[in-house]
Amino acid sequence: MLLKVIAITLFLFIPIPSVSRAQSTRKRKPAAARVVYACPMHPDVTSTKPGRCPKCGMTLRPVKAEPSPTPSPTPPADAALTFSSAKIPNTRIVDQNGKQLNFYDDLIKGKTVAVNFIFTTCTTVCPPLTATFRKVQQTASERGLDVKLVSVSVDPVVDTPERLRAFAEKFNAGQSWTFVTGEKGEIDSLLQSLGVAVTNKNDHTPMILIGNDSVDYWTRAYGLSPPSRLVDLIAEAASRK
């Protein structure tokens, strides 16, 4: 009887060490084959498992493990450097007043602009993003800066002009702040061109595109940066000759 118990115990326990050995071997795969997950807005936030960024809540995206163990603290160079006015399409869009506009000609051409990406039913990052934009609007006007704010809906089917107008009113949006929606296909291709397309609207980026179209100067900023910092970036863009 005792022997039987020992035999069963052995039978039950013997395989376990070999399984955990197999797992630890798997974990020790060479770095080249490993995938790490990084936040698109916070490249310093990385994880070996999928999940969300603790800073902004965005879904971490798989990236190739870097040969260096410390990832660069600056955003990838392509984010800031390869964008230009030529990439902005003249998409047919509708604003919060139901007016048909052409995205580039009517909202961007010759202007200093800040563009963010939101949807009105968002319960996470969009309310603070929009509140930040409201503060930017206020501070920019106090500093006499001529900047147009543009908020593009990443959920154009739900975000009708009426919904956007109610949202705009809630955030005291002034004349120089346009909310953009339109046909889903059109908006999707607009988002694609602006480099912010996502398959799930909840993954949309808290990024602000800031630029001065007249000199084709563009930069990107984290959408929840202090408003004064964003206004500094806008002022810098506006001052480019």
List interacting residues with Cu ion (CB under 5 A).
122, 125-126
CB of 105 to Cu ion, least distance (A): 28
Q: Measure the CA dihedral 84/87/90/95, to 10°.
A: -70
Choice between 115 and 126, CB closer to Cu ion = 126
For 62, phi then psi, to 5°, come to: -65, 135
Shortest distance in whole angstroms from residue 122 CB to Cu ion: 3
Beta carbon nearer to Cu ion, 126 or 140: 126
Shorter beta-carbon distance to Cu ion: residue 112 or 130: 130
Is residue 120 within 8 Å of residue 153, measured between CB atoms?
Answer: yes
Residue nearest to Cu ion (CB): 122
Closest distance to Cu ion from the beta carbon of 124 (Å)? 5
Q: Would you say 74 or 121 has its CB closer to Cu ion?
A: 121
Q: How far is the CB of 6 from Cu ion (least distance, A)?
A: 60
